[in-house]
Structure 1
Amino acid sequence: MPEQPARHTLVWLAPQAGWRADVPAREPRLLAWFAQGAPAVVARRAADDPDPRLRLGVPLPPAEGKQRLALRVARQDIARQLAPPTLGAVIATPGLAHDPAWRPALQALDAIAPARVFGAFAWQSLTGLAYVHAGSDIDLLWRVHSPEVADRLVTRLQAWEAHFSRRVDGELLLAGGGAVSWREYAGSTRQVLVKRIDGAALEPRERLFDATGIPA
């Protein structure tokens, strides 16, 4: 059985997987989606959720109303799982950025720190469907292990936004398995919202990088 995948992990289901959509009326669209070989993404579940199955999401493109279809699946029905694509791989996707101004902006962003991509840019890269538009944000994940690294990254992201007049969203991935919005981390609140696979909670800023203070 595959190990517990983290949030944002891409998963491909086995042909005979016994999944079930949260909204039964959406099952035909999900069947068509999986028949085309497209993945789903692992989503956060509520801390008090009694259902042991994985919670997955399939975000449809703007042409289909940007709906996010939700489903449940047992871990043993996962045939394959991968981390989100790297920013370098997304930049190399032919024709991804229809706005020519995106390429230098993304290349500059890639030079700041290694990152993985979720959201519109990732899904267009994965499926070839039109998710990205001229005003899109780009959503990234950065793995950080110390406040010094996080502070330096935040400063560079703020400079990137000011220079390119574009918005980058995303999360700092912590060693304890949690994640915090980089924009929230850039603020001055004493507590920040830390997301995990089984929920989210406010935690003291000074303990984000304390391995003994963050549950695994």
Structure 2
Amino acid sequence: MIALRRHALARLSHAPGADNEADREHAARWHDAGRPFVVTRRREASSAIGLGFCTTDSEHPELRPRRVAAHADAGLLVGLALPPALEEIARCPAAAHHAGSFSRLAIAAAAEGITIRVYGSWMWQALTADRHVHEASDLDVLIDVANIAAADRATAFLAEIEPALAFRLDGEVSFASLGEVNWREYRQDRPEVLLKSIDAIRLTPRTDLPE
């Protein structure tokens, strides 16, 4: 089992809690269907872990999926996994419409030695087969980086490849044990970056990132 972190896929021994009865019922049905929850961050003044998932309306598929927030004590965790790799997303039926772009991105990333994982709507589409992806959906990418040099290389790669793709690239680079930074914001080269971790969201001097 991987370390607890944002975007990790969590499986629980029991259904999680939520802030209202309707969401608790949604979360129980999601859990009973054997579907994972995505880790967000720890809840303030509590040891509970924030979780999320997205539901669709089968009677009204034109509606955008609804994001549902849940929470669970760490003791309920029975499994943690990284979000699916780009290659897994590319194999889901919905990706066939953009097969050329997925192939181009995967080949270019492999050539650069960059591992891309995917969260957000494309992840839920691949994991559930429900309609989460729409024509204007971005591809939310997650790239683990060891240091500033790796982050520079990964974000430069995303900026260079994006114009050749049929979809917009959103997402983050993730510094081990520190947290995640939106890749576009990182490219702005400001003295501080907004670092999101499982414990906090904070402006962090770029000089505090690992070299």
Cα distance in 2, alignment partners of residues 157 and 11 from structure 1: 28
**Does 2:104 align with 1:108?**
yes
Cα distance in 2, alignment partners of residues 29 and 18 from structure 1: 10
**Does 2:132 align with 1:131?**
yes
TM-score between the two structures when normalised by the length of structure 1: 0.85
Partner of 2:94: 96
Partner of 1:52: 47
Partner of 2:67: 68
Name stretches of at least 5 consecutive residues in structure 1 with no aligned partner: 211-216
* Dislocated runs of 4+, deviation >4 Å: none
SS at match of 1:185: helix
Deviation larger for 122-131 or 172-181: 172-181
* Structure 1 residue 96: Cα displacement: 2.5
Report the RMSD for the aligned CA atoms in angstroms.
2.0
Cα distance in 1, alignment partners of residues 7 and 37 from structure 2: 9
Is the Cα contact below 8 Å between 2:42 and 2:48 reproduced in 1? no
Is the Cα contact below 8 Å between 1:194 and 1:202 reproduced in 2? yes
Partner of 2:4: 5
Deviations 1:34-86 (A, max 9, x none): 1211111111235xx11111111112237364221111211121222211111
Equivalence map 1:1-216=2 (5 Å): 5-14=4-13, 17=14, 19-45=16-42, 49-61=44-56, 63=61, 65-93=64-92, 95-99=93-97, 102-110=98-106, 111-112=108-109, 113-164=114-165, 166-210=167-211
Deviations 1:75-121 (A, max 9, x none): 1212222111111111122x12252xx11212222232211110011
Is the Cα contact below 8 Å between 1:18 and 1:74 reproduced in 2? no
Is the Cα contact below 8 Å between 2:19 and 2:70 reproduced in 1? yes
Is the Cα contact below 8 Å between 1:97 and 1:132 reproduced in 2? no
Cα distance in 1, alignment partners of residues 27 and 181 from structure 2: 30
Identity of aligned residues (%): 31
Cα distance in 2, alignment partners of residues 57 and 129 from structure 1: 16
TM-score between the two structures when normalised by the length of structure 2: 0.87
Cα distance in 2, alignment partners of residues 81 and 20 from structure 1: 18
* Structure 1 residue 156: Cα displacement: 1.9
Partner of 1:213: none
Is the Cα contact below 8 Å between 2:17 and 2:70 reproduced in 1? yes
Is the Cα contact below 8 Å between 2:2 and 2:81 reproduced in 1? no
Aligned residues between the structures: 202
* Structure 1 residue 18: Cα displacement: 6.0
